Amino acid sequence: MAKTIPRIGSRRSRRIGSRKNTRRIPKGVIHVQASFNNTIVTVTDVRGRVVSWSSAGTCGFRGPRRGTPFAAQTAARDAIRTVVDQGMQRADVMIKGPGLGRDAALRAIRRGGILLTSVRDVTPMPHNGCRPPKKRRV
């Protein structure tokens, strides 16, 4: 018969309650990735740890409607709602991508009650990047 090994630091000895609600975040960074098919809004603290995120797909939009400005606005409002409750007052915004939801997400963030310290466009631009495919012969 095998002996049971006593567990050190079992789950019962830890405190009960969510850690997310107790953490106060006065300043953060909001990343908006707006593609043609979807818009993803991620809220991080200054060190880059993700606090909250949302996308048009998780808000219930499917298919072509995910790329619309209204879907981006809903995703931004959803991501910001939780961090405003945690005490975030100021944030930097980094917008990436060519999608339709760029401006709508920014407007929703402004309306959400967060003071924006800076708005940066971090869309990657190639410095004459990859070699194009060879010319098509028909």
pLDDT, tens only, 54-89: 999 999 999 999 999 999 999 999 999 989 988 899
Query: How far apart, in whole angstroms, are the C-alpha atoms of residue 72 and residue 124?
Result: 20
Q: Residue 8 gets which letter from DSSP?
A: S
pTM over 0.75? The answer is yes
Q: What is the 3-state secondary structure (H, E, C) of 105-121?
A: HHHHHHHCCCEEEEEEE
d(CA 37, CA 112): 24
pLDDT at 93 over 70: yes
CATH 1.10.287.130 fits 25-119, yes or no: no
CA distance 101 to 37: 10
Q: Are 107 and 73 in contact (CB under 8 A)?
A: yes
Q: Which helix (H) or strand (E) holds 29?
A: strand 27-34
Given pLDDT bands bounded at 50, 70 and 90, which one contains residue 115? very high
Other Cβ atoms less than 10 A from the Cβ of 45: the count is 17
Residue 125 corresponds to which tokens in the numbers above? Answer: 């631009």
Tell me the pLDDT band of 25, cut-offs 50, 70 and 90: confident
Annotated domain spans of the chain: 25-119
Q: Give the closest residue to 93 by CA, choosing from 102, 84, 85.
A: 102
